[in-house]
């Protein structure tokens, strides 16, 4: 054992993402992953996948899209006359933000029920919080099972940080990663921002990432450690 701080090596629990990059498992996403894995034995033809930004919604929807040969379409791009694909599976993304044609979405949900198809509808909040004018669609959406993704917990955020740092060949001490995980916002966007800040700080003088470097990186993105020693 040298005097140099031990490099961080995690035995990360990874799940094959069906041809995509590995999807990291944690208590915050395990229930949602289980539901995706149960397809096509879903309890309802239309499922709603809900989670905040950076929780893995898009990634998990892509996993299901690969497994089911589904088409993907933004809810804002739905138009009247939209029908099921030959595979009878569609991912409809960001339905909480805007729905181009509420009648089209209602029609697709009816077709999925009648023809044995499946829809995976994503949003940042549950359907009861969406702005939906068509009463029949509002009722139909609220009857759908909701699959909830929580924000990354501290453990998952640590895994994400390790992966992002490894991708840039930036070795970190366990203390530095634990410190960052405690003080960052719980999102992949925050993890990306701090890793980019670390990369810039060490660009001219590569070194191992210690808590001191981590503190400077947090300050660079406008975050404070609240005086933690």
For 56-90, the pLDDT digits (tens) are 888 899 999 999 999 999 999 999 989 998 889 99
Asked if residue 29 is part of any domain, the answer here is: yes
Asked if residue 115 is part of any domain, the answer here is: yes
* 182 prior amide bond cis, ω within 30: no
Question: In terms of domains, do 65 and 36 share one?
Answer: yes
Closest CA to 71 of 90, 87, 84: 90
Q: What is the dihedral of CA 196, 200, 203, 204, to 10 degrees?
A: -170
Domain hosting residue 27, numbered range: 16-148
Please identify, among 120, 148, 176, the residue that sits at the C-terminal boundary of a domain: 148
**Sign for the pseudo-dihedral over CA of 118, 16, 58, 62:** negative
- CATH number, domain containing residue 206: 1.10.8.60
Asked if residue 229 is part of any domain, the answer here is: no
pLDDT grade, residue 228 (50/70/90)?
A: low
| Bridge partners of residue 47, in order along the sequence | 120
Question: In terms of domains, do 48 and 141 share one?
Answer: yes
Answer whether 0.85 is exceeded by the pTM.
no
Question: In terms of domains, do 30 and 123 share one?
Answer: yes
Question: In terms of domains, do 132 and 40 share one?
Answer: yes
Question: In terms of domains, do 42 and 126 share one?
Answer: yes
**Angstrom distance (rounded) from CA 52 to CA 101:** 24
**Angstrom distance (rounded) from CA 224 to CA 57:** 28
Query: How many domains are there within the chain?
Result: 2
Tell me: the pLDDT tens digits for 110-134? Answer: 999 999 999 999 999 999 999 999 9
Long-range contacts of 19-22 (CB under 8 A, 24+ apart): 19/66, 20/59, 20/62, 20/63, 20/66, 21/59
Asked if residue 7 is part of any domain, the answer here is: no
Please identify, among 148, 181, 199, the residue that sits at the C-terminal boundary of a domain: 148
Asked if residue 10 is part of any domain, the answer here is: no
Q: Quick check: 213 and 176 in contact, CB under 8 A?
A: yes
Name the pairing type of β-strands 20-24 and 14-17. antiparallel
Question: In terms of domains, do 26 and 132 share one?
Answer: yes
Please identify, among 148, 164, 193, the residue that sits at the C-terminal boundary of a domain: 148
Q: What is the mean pLDDT of the chain?
A: 85
**Angstrom distance (rounded) from CA 27 to CA 33:** 10
- Sorted by sequence, the CB contacts under 8 Å of residue 10 that are 6+ apart come out as 158, 159, 162
- CATH number, domain containing residue 38: 3.40.50.300
Question: In terms of domains, do 168 and 139 share one?
Answer: no
Question: In terms of domains, do 63 and 176 share one?
Answer: no
Q: 127 by DSSP, 3-state: which?
A: helix
Q: What is the DSSP letter of 5?
A: P
Question: In terms of domains, do 109 and 207 share one?
Answer: no
**DSSP labels for 162-206?**
HHHHHHTT--B-HHHHHHHHHHS-SSHHHHHHHHHHHHHHTSSS-
Tell me: the pLDDT tens digits for 23-42? Answer: 777 788 888 989 999 999 99
Residue 226, token pair as written in the block: 């609240």
Question: In terms of domains, do 144 and 157 share one?
Answer: no
Residue 225: its pLDDT value, please?
Answer: 65
Question: In terms of domains, do 82 and 122 share one?
Answer: yes
């Amino acid at each position: 054992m040298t005097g140099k701080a031990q490099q961080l090596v995690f035995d990360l629990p990874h799940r094959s993402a069906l041809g995509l990059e590995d999807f990291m498992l944690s208590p915050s996403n395990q229930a949602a992953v289980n539901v995706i894995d149960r397809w096509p034995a879903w309890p309802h033809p239309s499922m709603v996948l809900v989670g905040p930004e950076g929780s893995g919604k898009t990634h998990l929807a892509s996993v299901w899209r690969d497994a089911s040969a589904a088409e993907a379409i933004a809810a804002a791009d739905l138009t009247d006359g939209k029908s099921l694909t030959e595979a009878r599976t569609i991912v409809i993304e960001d339905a909480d933000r805007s729905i181009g044609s509420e009648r089209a979405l209602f029609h697709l949900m009816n077709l999925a029920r009648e023809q044995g198809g499946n829809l995976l509808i994503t949003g940042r909040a549950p359907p009861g919080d969406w702005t939906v004018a068509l009463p029949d669609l509002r009722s139909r959406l609220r009857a759908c099972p909701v699959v909830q993704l929580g924000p990354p917990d501290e453990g998952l955020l640590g895994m994400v940080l390790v992966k992002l740092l490894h991708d840039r060949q930036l070795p970190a001490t366990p203390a530095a990663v634990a410190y960052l995980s405690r003080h960052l916002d719980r999102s992949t966007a925050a993890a990306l921002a701090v890793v980019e800040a670390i990369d810039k700080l060490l660009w001219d003088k590569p070194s191992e990432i210690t808590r001191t470097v981590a503190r400077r990186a947090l300050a660079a993105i406008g975050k404070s450690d609240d005086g933690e020693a």
